[in-house]
Structure formats: structure tokens, C-alpha cells
């Protein structure tokens, strides 16, 4: 069975989501004023931090700006927020009931949990993502990017294809897993340098065109890379551990 996926993102990225495919769910205590005009935008305040938690974090972060050890001060403030949010909010919720509510709001579309901070910045949506994944087997919750969706598409379609064909990986093919992983990392690194979604898509198409091999057409790549990711990567860690044992 393919994994279930929920995405996270930030409010100013809302135009990246097709209203026909995605439902955007604000988990902020107060959404932007313009949120009411977003066609596929909804709210779920039960997942928002209390005003007390947010205020303490905000004041602490402001003070950390002038601290001689700013990075350590910010980490301390974030840790206090994390502990309070887990104890005062997440520990009071049933993760299965939360997931059901998310699906209810999504109404058959792909749910995206939305808040203010950009990717890489501290935000409670990442705490919620970890909490949901830790408590619900088979659930994937991750930050949305074009490369993220492509990767997920590859993995899900690859698993379905592998199961349908009863494909089995070759035991000594760990180098194949390594090559595919490096290839994916190279693409991801390049895409992370492009900030505009249109540029990312254009670069992906250029990559396939420059290669000239039908194998690298996007749909074929999904199928072929999917097989590799769904099988070889499943055993990559095992292979690497065996290799370490053999070299000792």
C-alpha cells in the first residue's frame, strides 16, 4: 500500500497549490486577513499554539537578537516553546482524531498544513508533522516543494509498479541504490537553488531534453526510478551495514 502523505507549507506560498488538488489548512492562531479569500483555504485552530506560548517565544526571540550568544539563546527559546507546545497542546490531542479532522477539512483532496514561517525556520507545523508521523503508522508529513512532490510521486508509483510486477531487488546491487540516491540528491540540490516554481519545472524539462534518452522522459523516469527507490533504497541501509561488517 502506498504511503499516505500530508504536506506542510507557509501562507505566502499558497499560490503554489492547485485548488482542484490541494486543501490548505491554517493551523495558526490568527491567519492573515486575506486568508478568507483563498478559495481552498480553511482553518484548524486546535493545532495552533496558545497565545501564552507564542508570546513567550516571540519575546524570547526578540531578546535573543541582542544576546552575545544569539544562536544558543534562540535554541533555548525554541526548546522552551517545543516543550510547552507538546505538553500543553499535543499531549491533550488524539492523533487519530486529528488526522480524521484533517481529512474532513480536505474533503478528498491533498491536505496542506499552513503557517507563517518559511522552510528551514522554527515553526510549530514541524512539531505537528513529527508528532503525527510518530503516532500514525504509514503516514508521511513533510514540507512541500516541487522536488518533494516529484519524489513522493516516484516512490508511490514505483511501489505500485514493483508490487504489480513482483519485482525483487538483486542482493548485491547496493551500488545501484547509492547511484540513484546521489542522482536524486544532485537534482534536489539544484532545485533548491531555484526559488521560482516555474524555473524549477523548466529546469526539469531541460534536464530530460538534454539527455535525449527516452528513459529520461518524466513519466518513464517515474516508473524506472520508482522501482529503484521502492526496492533498492529499502535495502540500502542493510547493504551498507553489511559492507561495514565485511571491512572490519
- pLDDT for position 181: 54
Select the more confidently predicted residue: 23 or 163: 23
Select the more confidently predicted residue: 194 or 66: 66
pLDDT exceeds cutoff 70 at 50: yes
pLDDT exceeds cutoff 60 at 199: yes
- pLDDT for position 149: 57
- pLDDT for position 122: 92
pLDDT exceeds cutoff 90 at 188: no
Least confident range of 79-83, 151-155, 185-189 = 151-155
pLDDT digits (tens, 9 = 90+) for 34-43: 999 998 899 9
Cβ contact 220:214 at 8 Å: yes
Least confident range of 117-121, 137-141, 184-188, 240-244 = 240-244
pLDDT exceeds cutoff 70 at 71: yes
Average pLDDT, the chain: 74
pLDDT exceeds cutoff 70 at 21: yes
H helix or E strand, kind and range, residue 243: helix 233-247
Longest dimension (CA), the chain: 62
Alpha helix ranges (H) inside 70-196: 70-88, 95-106, 124-135, 146-165, 174-192
pLDDT exceeds cutoff 70 at 158: no
- The cell numbers describing 219, all together, are 513519466
Beta strand 139-143 with 4-10: parallel, antiparallel or unpaired? Answer: parallel
Amino acid at each position: 500500500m502506498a504511503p499516505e502523505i500530508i504536506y506542510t507549507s507557509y501562507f505566502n506560498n499558497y499560490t503554489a497549490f492547485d485548488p482542484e488538488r490541494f486543501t490548505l489548512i491554517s493551523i495558526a492562531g490568527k491567519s492573515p486577513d486575506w486568508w478568507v479569500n483563498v478559495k481552498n483555504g480553511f482553518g484548524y485552530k486546535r493545532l495552533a499554539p496558545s497565545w501564552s506560548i507564542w508570546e513567550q517565544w516571540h519575546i524570547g526571540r526578540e531578546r535573543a537578537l541582542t544576546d552575545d550568544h544569539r544562536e544558543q539563546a534562540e535554541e533555548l527559546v525554541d526548546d522552551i516553546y517545543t516543550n510547552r507546545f507538546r505538553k500543553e497542546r499535543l499531549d491533550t490531542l488524539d492523533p487519530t482524531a486529528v488526522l480524521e479532522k484533517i481529512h474532513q477539512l480536505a474533503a478528498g483532496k491533498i491536505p496542506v498544513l499552513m503557517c507563517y514561517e518559511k522552510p528551514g525556520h522554527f515553526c510549530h507545523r514541524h512539531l505537528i508533522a513529527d508528532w503525527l508521523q510518530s503516532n500514525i503508522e504509514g503516514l508521511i508529513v513533510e514540507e512541500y516543494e516541487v522536488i518533494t512532490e516529484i519524489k513522493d510521486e516516484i516512490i508511490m508509483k514505483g511501489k505500485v509498479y514493483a508490487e504489480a510486477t513482483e519485482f525483487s531487488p538483486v542482493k548485491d546491487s547496493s551500488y545501484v541504490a547509492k547511484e540513484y540516491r546521489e542522482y536524486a540528491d544532485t537534482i534536489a540540490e539544484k532545485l533548491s537553488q531555484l526559488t521560482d516554481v516555474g524555473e524549477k519545472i523548466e529546469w526539469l524539462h531541460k534536464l530530460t531534453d538534454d539527455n535525449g534518452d527516452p528513459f529520461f522522459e518524466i513519466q518513464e523516469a517515474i516508473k524506472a526510478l520508482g522501482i529503484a527507490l521502492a526496492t533498492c533504497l529499502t535495502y540500502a541501509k542493510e547493504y551498507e551495514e553489511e559492507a561495514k561488517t565485511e571491512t572490519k
